[in-house]
Amino acid sequence: MNPHSHARPGIRRLTPYQPGKPVEELERELGIEGSIKLASNENPLGASPRVADAITRALTEVERYPDGGGVVLRRAIGERLGVKDDTITLGNGSNDVLDLIARVFAGPGDEIVFSQHSFAVYPIATQAVGADAVVTPAVEFGHDLVAMAKAVTARTRIVFVANPNNPTGTWNTRDEIRALLESVSEEVIVVIDEAYAEYVEDERYPDTLAWLGEFPNLVVTRTFSKIYGLASLRIGYSISSPEIADLINRVRHPFNVNSLAQQAALAALEDEEFVAASRRANSDGMTQLESGFRDLGLQWIPSVGNFLTVDVGRDAGPVYDALLHKGVIVRPVANYGLPNHLRISIGLAEENDRCLTALREVLV
């Protein structure tokens, strides 16, 4: 029996998401140590100190199943965001929720629209349910929401918009997102993936949650992986109408979010000072990297996330390798259609400095 020939066509065509290798593994392979990882948009400050305490307390009950409804956490998130808790669906990372949304609303013969250079999970979620991806061309590396609205057909079930987008760091304004929602039929689910929302300081960034009552097809996703620094625990969520939340809940694994993650998220949510400090550090690091790139004569894509995607002016593969040998781990983005770019997560000041020095040495 050849399992490959039995797999569903979408799965057969699927290129798996390529996570970065663990640091220890890379160091062993290359025979180096003390390397820095600026490859996965993690928070260089770690997580709030309250998180460790919350997890330690939760450790006394590891034998118990988690709260499958995430009651306390959903209430806390709801209060923080000013939405009712029946609009919130918890996921094992927001990737989980994106996947569930695809499973609920799309299948073979349906179309899912997203942009060129957009987050890798959208094509995976699309192919996994056997739907067809409709990919609109990017403009200046960012989403062209007018083109995305035009790409919607009678077969379209979902539009995925990453705002800001990963790996480009580009974003869309309130007016652009609203225009998309106004021009797309209510029959089409519009997912606005706001994994980096807490980093964005521009006044033109939309408050999409305020529009939930107006657009019953709107789903917003957020995560604890980025500014809250809980990437390893896997916890994210969506905010939608209670009707959509109910549908997602039907396919959600009842215990998809473990207790340690729930307790950690509760603690992280309370520490607003940590979030503010993370935002400041990110903004400083962004300035530092940008000025370093400028000195090196490099172009980068303006970003509002916690990473910068820089054009190294040549095939980025060998540059990535050379940086790796200097113990600086960044992210090649050729698989996103950006063969000359590298995505660099903003680190601590000394990490950014080391990355810039390594880049300088490698690019001579």
Ligand X SMILES: *Cc1c(COP(=O)(O)O)cnc(C)c1O
**Contact footprint for ligand X (CB under 6 A):** 41, 93-95, 119, 162, 166, 193, 195, 223, 225-226, 231, 236
How is residue 45 written in tokens?
A: 């400050």
In the complex with ligand X, the residue whose CB is nearer, 117 or 226, is 226
Q: How far is the CB of 155 from ligand X (least distance, A)?
A: 25
**Cα–Cα distance measured from residue 98 to residue 121, given in angstroms and rounded to the nearest whole number:** 8
Q: How far is the CB of 5 from ligand X (least distance, A)?
A: 31
Q: Which residue is nearest to ligand X (CB)?
A: 93
In the complex with ligand X, the residue whose CB is nearer, 223 or 262, is 223
Q: How far is the CB of 31 from ligand X (least distance, A)?
A: 31
In the complex with ligand X, the residue whose CB is nearer, 176 or 193, is 193
- Asked whether 307 and 336 are in contact (CB, 8 A), the reply is no
Q: How far is the CB of 233 from ligand X (least distance, A)?
A: 9
In the complex with ligand X, the residue whose CB is nearer, 235 or 245, is 235
Q: Which residues contact 65 (CB under 8 A, 6 or more apart)?
A: 255
Q: How far is the CB of 97 from ligand X (least distance, A)?
A: 8
In the numeric block, the tokens 């601590």 are attached to: 348
* Residue 86 falls in which region: left (phi positive, over 0), alpha (psi -120 to 50) or beta: alpha
In the complex with ligand X, the residue whose CB is nearer, 73 or 195, is 195
Q: What would the DSSP string read from start to end of 48-112?
A: -HHHHHHHHHHGGGTTSPP-TT-HHHHHHHHHHHTS-GGGEEEESSHHHHHHHHHHHH--TT-EE
In the complex with ligand X, the residue whose CB is nearer, 226 or 354, is 226
Q: How far is the CB of 185 from ligand X (least distance, A)?
A: 25
DSSP code at position 346: -
- Asked whether 13 and 4 are in contact (CB, 8 A), the reply is no
Run of H or E residues at 179: helix 174-183
